[in-house]
Amino acid sequence: MKSFQSFRLDTANHSLLRGQERVQIPPKAYDVLRYLVENAGRVVTQDELLEAVWPETYVNPEILRKYILEIRKTLGDRPDKPVFIETVTKRGYRFIAPVIEEGSTESPDLPISGGAKEKVGAERGASERRKSFGRRHLRRLVAVAVLALVAAAATAGELWLVRKKATRRSAKTTSIAVLPFANLSAGKDQEYFSDGLAEELITDLTKIPGLKVVARSSAFQFKGKNEDVRSVGHKLGVANVLEGSVRKEGDHVRITAALTKVDDGFQLWSETYDREIPHIFAAQDEIARAVADALQVKLLSSTGAEVSATSRSTSPEAYQAYLQGQYFAARGQDREDLQKALSYAEQAIKLDAKYAPAWAQRAQVLVSMARVAVIESTDGFRRARESAEKAIALDRNLAAGYLGLGMVQINCDWDWEGADASLKRAGLLAPGSATVLSNQAYLARILGRMEEALALYKQAIALDPLRANFHLALGYELYVLGRHEEARAALQKAQELNPQLSSLHLTEGQILLAEGRQQEALAEMAKETGEWEKLSGEALAYYGAGRGEESENALKKLIATHQNDGAYQIAEAYAYRGDIENAFHWMDRAVRQRDPGAPEVKNSPLMKSLHQDPRFAELLKKMRLPA
């Protein structure tokens, strides 16, 4: 019980009393008052009060001021002449009334009276009789002290555990998924715009250190499914979900956005924005900042980084072309989609040659087209490099520009140091980007930093848990490390997410071959959905099963149809057979063609037969790989 003037706080019963009468006060107002009373005499900041009364929940500071006003009204206090609660301008509040802790057993020091002096004298005369008791009493005190220390240590340990649990809870609350915004426009052809807005918000939020943001490919799995937000959050492993809608009519856009806590369905924040297309960037920044504030991420970052307004600007036409490019680029590696994505990126550049995101988009699309032989690789990578460098020159704080350059350096230049620098820069600018992490993982694998690659793949999956090819990449990494059961678990997850994913059964078949289970490997290769992947797998598995003629037929077909984009896989088949001469012949061709698979030669289990040949070191040197 704590008393101040005519009031008492009954902390056991969570009530405020005046004399013997109970005073009506809302529960949260009571909590605010109690915290101030328990910290009487010192300034309590607004942030401290919010954290104490509403832990791990965003509350508008206006609510706190409302409760302070209500408490003053209840106590009969005045802000201009405070008796209880003083406002300390720009700092917080201080409870200034004297507080008495009722039931205290402490007594004040008193002067020694004459009678007491006589008692002291008598005790001095009896000191010898008390020595034995004194020694026993001392031992008892020591024992009590030891027990107190043990209790204190236990309490400290308990507090440490509480803090550790709180830290874990705090880390969990700093995760978010941005769902695709619903397209409410009259014309259904505006889907690219609503998708693009959500994707841009994902990009903005990934720039916040300490905030886990689920990547687009996983969040967009729920597009059009109308699934409960709490269910979505649990499936994606996040504590918060941002959803919304877009209604676009001409250049006018109405955006609604809402942030919801997954565990209880409580809406932390919502807002509606009416904007014209030229001001859409400002709306995106406002939404990102509001979400950041609602999650209180500024308290998480060691650097104190917050979402800040960007200097983005372009014409409405260029921005819409860019969003259409993003829409088609995200649909996959289909030739038609990639060509549309490139066309829209180039249209955006034509409308605004200084719009850096469009140049970065063009770079990444060209890399994808060159990798899958939609365009001639040498020219494609050259144009991609030029586009990435242009994006960086226009905006040195655009992560996508460095990512595009890093992809060119990996796939074409084999400039591993340059790629490492580019991806690190991209990672600093967008620390929550799963795409950057997956590229860093691939680079680490190529350079033989296998455990680092494994950790990076797992980080990428944490941010993009429903992206099947990330689980496939993790499975391949574990296969290379010889951890076959773990590899199978990752491949199983990839298959659950996308049963038609190419290279899935090829990788499983390679694991079976490594285990000497040739017939099972052959059955697995027959399920492969990718064209060159199936031919490559059959060339390996038939040979492993002792069916040389059928292996040769599969290899000949692979050479006839994919010699320009599958030279590395052809070399792998020859190396697995032990045909060293043909393996080096095709590896030389893979190097000349800048085959994306060529750098895998150092770590592939299928290429071990080449390692002892003197030409192998020379091959690594050509690709600038460490020996």
Closest CA to 442 of 450, 370, 329: 450
- The C-alpha atoms of residue 583 and residue 591 are separated, in whole angstroms, by 12
Express each pLDDT in 5-15 by its tens digit. Answer: 889 888 877 88
Q: What are phi and psi of 459, to 5 degrees?
A: -65, -40
- pLDDT(597) > 50: yes
Q: How confident is the model at residue 196 (pLDDT cuts 50, 70, 90)?
A: confident
- The C-alpha atoms of residue 191 and residue 331 are separated, in whole angstroms, by 13
- pLDDT(194) > 90: no
441 by DSSP, 3-state: which?
helix
Express each pLDDT in 388-417 by its tens digit. Answer: 999 999 999 999 999 999 999 999 999 999
Express each pLDDT in 423-472 by its tens digit. Answer: 999 999 988 899 999 999 999 999 999 999 999 999 999 999 999 999 99
Burial readout 494-518 (b: 16 or more C-beta within 10 A, e: otherwise): bbebbeebbbbbbbbbbbbbbeeeb
The pLDDT value given to residue 424: 95
Q: Write the DSSP string, 359-376.
A: HHHHHHHHHHHHHTTSS-
Cα end-to-end span (Å), the chain: 74
Q: Which amino acid is at 117?
A: K
The pLDDT value given to residue 296: 55
Q: How confident is the model at residue 249 (pLDDT cuts 50, 70, 90)?
A: confident
- pLDDT(600) > 50: yes
Reported CATH class of domain 2-101: mainly alpha
User: Which of 116-125, 130-139, 307-316, 573-582 is the most confident on average?
Assistant: 573-582
Closest CA to 578 of 544, 602, 545: 544
Would you kindly state where each structural domain of the chain is located, as residue ranges?
2-101, 139-166, 174-305
The pLDDT value given to residue 61: 66
The pLDDT value given to residue 378: 85
If you average pLDDT over residues 499-520, what whole number do you get?
Answer: 95
Q: How confident is the model at residue 129 (pLDDT cuts 50, 70, 90)?
A: very low
Q: Write the DSSP string, 64-119.
A: HHHHHHHHHHHHT--SSS-SSEEEETTTEEEE-S--EETT----------HHHHHH
Token pair of 547 as six digits: 């069916």
- pLDDT(558) > 80: yes
Q: Write the DSSP string, 133-202.
A: HHHHHHHHHHHHHHHHHHHHHHHHHHHHHHHHHHHHHHHHHTEEEEPPPEE--SSGGGHHHHHHHHHHHH
Q: Are 184 and 245 in contact (CB under 8 A)?
A: yes
| Structural fold of domain 174-305 | Rossmann fold (3.40.50)
Express each pLDDT in 16-55 by its tens digit. Answer: 998 888 888 888 888 899 999 999 989 998 888 888 887 7
Express each pLDDT in 269-323 by its tens digit. Answer: 788 878 777 777 777 767 766 676 666 554 344 444 444 444 456 787 888 899 8
**More confident position, 198 or 449:** 449
Residues in the chain: 627
What value does the CA radius of gyration of the chain take, rounded to a whole number of Å?
34
- pLDDT(102) > 50: yes
